[in-house]
Amino acid sequence: MADLVLRGGYLDGETVDLLIQGGQIAAIGPQLEAAGATEIDARGLLLSPPFIESHIHLDTTLTAGEPKWNESGTLFEGIETWAARKKSLSREDVMRRATTLLRWQAAQGVLHVRSHVDTTDPELTAVRALLEVREKMRDLVEVQLVAFPQEGILSFPKGAELLEEALRLGVDVVGGIPHYELTRDMGAQSVAISFQLAEKYSRPVDIHCDETDDPQSRFLEVVAAEAIRTGMGEMVTASHTTAMGSYDDAYAFKLMGFLRRARINFVANPLINITLQGRMDTYPKRRGLTRVKELWQNGLNVSLGYDDVMDPWYSLGTGNMLQPAHMAVHVAQMTGRAEVVACYDMVTTHAARTLGIADRYGLAVGRPADLVLLEAKDKWNAIRRLAPIRMVIRGGRVVAETTASRTTLLGEPIDLSAER
Ligand SMILES: [Zn+2]
C-alpha cells in the first residue's frame, strides 16, 4: 500500500493518479489500482512540480519604509536606503524576517529558494544569520545563498575579502555587481575576481549583471567570456541583464551568439525591473527588462525571480511565483500559447536548471514527492487566473493547505474559471 495517493489530478493534459511511497513518487498513471494509507481527491486540480524562487533577497525582505520609503522608486535610492537600514541589522532581525518570508513561500508552493545576501558589511551579520536560517528551514524549504557584494567588490573597503569570507563560512554561490563598481575597468576586474573565487571554492556563479538602462553597460560579455574560459557554462547565471533591453540590435545579435556558446543561465525579475528601470526616461519610456523572449527563443535557459518582497526596492509583493510569471507574459510580450506556458516553466523546470537541481526535481517516478496542487486544469490557466494554490506536498507530507474558494453573485454560486 502506498503512503499517499492523489486521485484524478491534471498533468500534461491527462487525468492521472499519483502514488507516493517513502517520500518519493512511486507511480503516475490513469486510474492506478494501488490503494494509499491516505487518499486525496485531486479532481479539478493541476499537479505541478514545486515553484522555485531563483532570485530573492531574504536579508532585505520585509523592511519597506525603514528608515524611509523609496519615493523616487529608483535602484539607487533603494541602495542608499538599504545602506542606512543595514546599520541596524542584527542576527535576530534578519532571521525573523527571512523565516517569515520562507514560510510564506512554502505555503505558496515555493520549495527551493536562491537568495542573495549582502556581503558588504564588515560584520557579515546577514550572512551569518541566513546561514542559520538555511539550516533551520532545511526540512521545509531548500535555500541556496549567493554572496552578493551590494556595494561592490573593488569599490567597497575589503569587498573582495568579505566576499571570500562569506564563501569560507559556507555560502553556496559567488555573486557580483560589476555595473555598480566605480569604473568600467573595476567592473570587468570584479567579474574576474568572482570567477577566481568560484574556481578556488568550486562554487557556481550568479552575478547581478548590467541592472541599468545604460546601453553602454556591457558586463554580460565579460561574464560570458569568463564562462567560456573556465568551462563553467551551466554553473553560471547572469541575473537582471536589463541593459540588454537597451542594446542596439547589431550588438545584441552578436552577443546572442556568444551567449549560446557560453551556455549560461539567465534570471529576469519582471516585477522589479518594470518598476525600477526606465526611471530616467520621460517618453518614450523603456520597459527595462532583458530580452526574455529572444533568449528563450535562442535556446538559453531563462528563469524568473521575484527579487524583492516589501523592501527598499519594491514595497509590494507576496512571494507567490505566479506573479512574476504573469508579469513576464505582459512585459516580455510572451502571449502566444506556448509562450505563456514557457513563463510557467521559468518558475519551475527552468529555474531548477538555474539552481543546478534538475536531476532531482520534477513529477517523475523516483523523484522526491514534492508537488503543488493548483485550482487550474493546466499551466496556461494557472497563469491567466493567478490560480489559488490549494495544497503543497514536501517529501510526501502535506505541508500546506488552502480551502477552496467560492464566490457567489446575487446569492447564486458563480464559476469564474471559464478554462479554455
Ligand atoms: Zn537582486
pLDDT in tens, 349-376: 999 999 999 999 999 999 999 999 999 9
What Cα–Cα distance (Å) separates residue 276 from each residue in 54, 75, 77, 282, 347?
Answer: 19, 6, 10, 14, 21
φ, ψ for residue 362, nearest 5 deg: 115, 160
Sign of CA dihedral 393, 399, 402, 404: positive
Confidence of residue 418 (pLDDT cuts 50, 70, 90): confident
What residues does CATH 3.20.20.140 cover in the chain?
51-360
Span 116-131, mean pLDDT? Answer: 97
Mapped onto helix, strand or coil, the DSSP state of residue 389 is strand
Distance 10 CA to ligand 1 centre (A): 34
Q: DSSP class of residue 359?
A: G
Sign of CA dihedral 384, 142, 365, 301: positive
CB of 372 closer than 8 Å to CB of 388: no
Give catalytic status of residue 339 as yes or no: no
pLDDT in tens, 265-323: 999 999 999 999 999 999 999 999 999 999 999 999 999 999 999 999 999 999 999 99
Confidence of residue 29 (pLDDT cuts 50, 70, 90): very high
Q: What is the mean pLDDT of the chain?
A: 96
Sign of CA dihedral 36, 38, 42, 46: negative
Mapped onto helix, strand or coil, the DSSP state of residue 24 is strand
Say yes or no to pLDDT of 405 above 90: no
Distance 54 CA to ligand 1 centre (A): 10
Residue type, 371: L
What Cα–Cα distance (Å) separates residue 47 from each residue in 32, 63, 103, 411?
Answer: 16, 34, 21, 32
What Cα–Cα distance (Å) separates residue 304 from each residue in 240, 406, 413?
Answer: 9, 30, 36
Say yes or no to pLDDT of 46 above 80: yes
What Cα–Cα distance (Å) separates residue 332 from each residue in 278, 290, 306?
Answer: 15, 8, 15
Say yes or no to pLDDT of 420 above 80: no
pLDDT in tens, 125-162: 999 999 999 999 999 999 999 999 999 999 999 999 99
| List 211, 226, 339, 375, catalytic entry | 211
Span 92-120, mean pLDDT? Answer: 98
Say yes or no to pLDDT of 415 above 90: no
> Which pLDDT does position 305 carry in this prediction?
98
What residues does CATH 2.30.40.10 cover in the chain?
2-49+363-413
Confidence of residue 76 (pLDDT cuts 50, 70, 90): confident
Say yes or no to pLDDT of 196 above 90: yes
pLDDT in tens, 180-195: 999 999 999 999 999 9
CB of 347 closer than 8 Å to CB of 303: yes
> Which pLDDT does position 77 carry in this prediction?
92
> Which pLDDT does position 302 carry in this prediction?
98
Say yes or no to pLDDT of 406 above 90: no
> Which option is the CATH number for 51-360: 1.10.10.10, 3.20.20.140, 3.10.20.30, 2.60.40.10?
3.20.20.140
Distance 295 CA to ligand 1 centre (A): 19
Say yes or no to pLDDT of 124 above 80: yes
Percent with pLDDT over 70 in the chain: 100
φ, ψ for residue 312, nearest 5 deg: -65, -15
Architecture, CATH, for domain 2-49+363-413 = Roll (2.30)
Say yes or no to pLDDT of 419 above 80: no
CB-based contacts of 18: which residues, under 8 Å, 6+ apart? Answer: 5, 6, 9, 11, 25, 27, 28, 42, 47, 363, 371
Mapped onto helix, strand or coil, the DSSP state of residue 250 is helix
CB of 26 closer than 8 Å to CB of 365: yes
Distance 253 CA to ligand 1 centre (A): 26
Protein residues placing their CB within 5 Å of the ion ligand 1: 307
Distance 144 CA to ligand 1 centre (A): 14
Model's pTM, two decimal places? Answer: 0.97
